[in-house]
Amino acid sequence: MKVESARPRGVYAAVLTPVTEALQPDIKLFAEHCRWLLANGCDGLAPLGTTGEANSLSLAQRISLVEAMAATRLPMARCIVGAGSCALADAVALTRATLAAGCDNVLLLPPFYYKNPSEDGLFAFFAEVIERVSEDRLRLYLYHFPRLSTVPITIPLIRRLTKAYGPRIAGLKDSSGDWSNTKAFLEAFPGFDVFSGSEEFLLDNLRAGGVGCISASVNVTAPLAQPVHRAWATPQADKLQRELTEVRLILQAYPTPASLKQVLAEITGHRQWLNLIPPNHPLAATTQAVELMARLRALPQMQAMLGARAAV
C-alpha cells in the first residue's frame, strides 16, 4: 500500500528553468539550483510554472524535465509540479507524468486562451483532468493568476470542485497580488491549503490559516523567507517579514523571470542563467541589470546571502 506523503507546507520556490543557448532545459544546472534551494530555506519546489517559462516549453520538454527530476533523485514528494496548458490532453499527459515520477502534487492553471469562459466550462476542464488521470492520490492545486491568465479561479468554482472531488482538490496558489483576495479564499474554505503567490504576504497568510508561499523571487530570497515561516507565531516575525518584503519589492519592479535569472547569473557566475525563451528577454545589461544588482547589494539583509551564494 502506498504511504501518503505529507501535504505541502511552507516556503516553495516557483523554480526557474535554466536553458541552453539552443533553448533546451539545462538539466544539470536546474538540479544544482533545486538542491541549493532545498538546502537554503525551501521546504519544497514548484517547477514548470510561470516563472519556469513552462508555457514556452513543449509538452515533451516539460515531461522530460519531470522525468529528469526523478532520475537525479530530487525529492519528488516535496514538489508541486505545474501542469497548466490550454490543451486538455497536454494537461492530462503532464499530470500523469508527474504522478509516474513520484509526485502527487500538481499545480494547474485554468485553460487561458479562450477568454471569459463559463463556470461550467472551467469546471468541465478540471473535472476532465481528474477523471482522465483517475488517481485517488492526485492532489490538485488550482492556480489563480488572473493578471496573466485572464481567467480567474472563483469561490463558486472551488466550491463545486471540492464538493465533486473532495481531497483531490487540495488547495490553491493565489498570485493575484491582492491580500484581500487571498484572505477571502481562506475565509471561504477553512482547512483549504492556500499558498500566497508572493512572499510579501507570507506572514499574513500563515497567521490567517494559510500554509505558506509559492513564489518566483524565492529563487533568490529562500534564506530570508524560511526564518519568517519558522518564526511566524513570534514577535520577531514582523521584522523578518519587513526585510523579506523589501527584497521582494525590488525584484518585482523588474520583468520576471529576467530579473531573477540576472541575479543568479551575477552571483553564481553561470552566464547560462541569462538565456530566456522568447518572448521573454534579458534585462538591459548597462541599465536595468546594473541598477537591480546595486539596489540589492545596498540592503544589509542581502549582502551576506549574495556572498554565500557566489561562493557555492
**pLDDT exceeds cutoff 50 at 60:** yes
Cα(51)–Cα(118) distance, integer angstroms = 27
CB atoms within 10 A of CB 147: 10
Residue 306's pLDDT is: 79
CA 290 distance to own-chain centroid? 26
pLDDT tens figures, 129-185: 999 999 999 999 999 999 999 999 999 999 999 999 999 999 999 999 999 999 999
Spot the catalytic one: 143, 221, 245, 261: 143
- As a whole number of angstroms, the distance between CA 98 and CA 111 comes to 19
Q: Could you tell me which of 128, 59, 130, 126 has the C-alpha nearest to residue 97? A: 59
Strand partners, 172: 142, 194
Is the confidence at residue 119, as pLDDT, over 60?
A: yes
Catalytic residue (one of 173, 221, 261, 268):
173
Give the Cβ contact number of residue 16 at 10 Å. Answer: 26
Beta strands in the chain (DSSP E): 10-13, 44-45, 81-82, 105-108, 139-144, 169-174, 193-196, 212-215
Q: Which residues pair with 81 in a beta bridge?
A: 106
Rounded to two decimals, the pTM is 0.95
Please say if 141 is a catalytic residue.
no
Which of 50, 51, 221, 268 is the catalytic position? 50
Evaluate if residue 311 carries a pLDDT over 70.
no
Taking the CA atoms of 19, 39, 98 and 10 in sequence, report the sign of the dihedral they define: negative
Q: Has 173 been annotated as catalytic?
A: yes
14-38 residue pLDDT tens: 999 999 999 999 999 999 999 999 9
Q: Is 115 a catalytic residue?
A: no
Show the cell assigned to 248. Answer: 521582494
Per annotation, catalytic residue among 28, 113, 114, 239: 113
Active site residue 286: no
CA separation for the pair 176, 181 (Å, rounded): 7
**Cα–Cα distance list, 16 to 36, 137, 273 (Å):** 13, 27, 9
Neighbours of 121 (CB within 10 A): 13
> For 25, which DSSP code?
B
